[in-house]
Chain A
Amino acid sequence: MADSKKNDKVNKAPETETPVSFEKEDIFGTLSDMLSELLDMPKDSFRYDTMIFDELPLDSLQLYELVVDLETKFDIRIPDEDIEKITTIGDVVDMIHEAGK
């Protein structure tokens, strides 16, 4: 019993924070993961040119869930004025990519 506890500790991943990537591909991947979870849709349902408000069944609360989660994940701020400029998933990727510069 005592031994297995010890092993658990050793096997535990080191608690270093991996820096988030601001590469467009990676941002798109993270965004697809979040949308897939939020909307319960397969990950490959999303493209760069997917129209967020026209093609996805995203209500206003879900939109803010996505925004708050992106802000936390990438440590950025997304004001409402910027959200109003968004049309496609690619716009969101570009916005986050710019914020990471």
Chain B
Amino acid sequence: MDPKENDFAESLLSIFDNVLLTEEMALSKGYFSDLSIAELHTINAIGPYDARTMTETANILGITVGTLTVSVDRLVKKEYVERQRDTKDRRIVRISLTRQGKLAYRMHSKFHRVLAKRIFDPLSDEEKRILTNTISEIDTFVKEQYKKYSNGEQYKKIVRDDTEV
């Protein structure tokens, strides 16, 4: 393996870990210490504006409606999310953020914006352009990997193929 590749792999791993750790710390020491990262991501998927159905939200998060229901139940109890029945079709339940939920959403997205700004600001325009393109390619690549696992059932075979260099 190219030593540069090694450094790159280590940096990637370190970024994943540290972004999550920092986010968790910011949460537990901040205003919304009763929220877990997973709950915050559910809040993010629901979004601050239009009410969403459970199916739409589950799709955004890439989880089943059953799993989402457990998370939403907890968020309703903690008063971050509310459920409403559709006025025309009573079978449809929509979920939306309460005032408290909207505040958590905005503070969380602010956290990521500040993080991005601090990385971005010292760069030249050309460096910004290259970084944005590269990051977007990495994002697409990682999403494709994730899709493979969430669609397929032969996980072990996929893992075997993926780990072969």
Contact = CB atoms under 8 A, between A and B. Distances in A.
* A and B together in one complex: yes
Interface of A: 60-61, 64-65, 67-69, 71-72, 77, 80
Give the interface SS of chain B, mostly helix, strand, loop or mixed.
Answer: helix
B31 interface: yes
Contacts, number: 26
Interface string B25-47: 00000010000000000000000
The 5 A-B residue pairs whose C-beta atoms are closest, nearest first, are A64-B106, A68-B102, A64-B103, A61-B31, A68-B99
Interface of B: 31, 48-49, 99, 102-103, 106-107, 109-110, 113
Contact of B103 (A61, A77, A80): A61
A61 B103 CA distance: 7
B61 to A, nearest CB: 22
A41 B140 CA distance: 49
Contact of A68 (B103, B109, B110, B113): B103
Given A61-B31, A64-B107, 20 more contacts: A60-B107, A60-B110, A61-B107, A64-B102, A64-B103, A64-B106, A64-B110, A65-B103, A67-B106, A68-B48, A68-B102, A68-B103, A68-B106, A69-B99, A71-B48, A71-B102, A72-B99, A80-B106, A80-B109, A80-B113
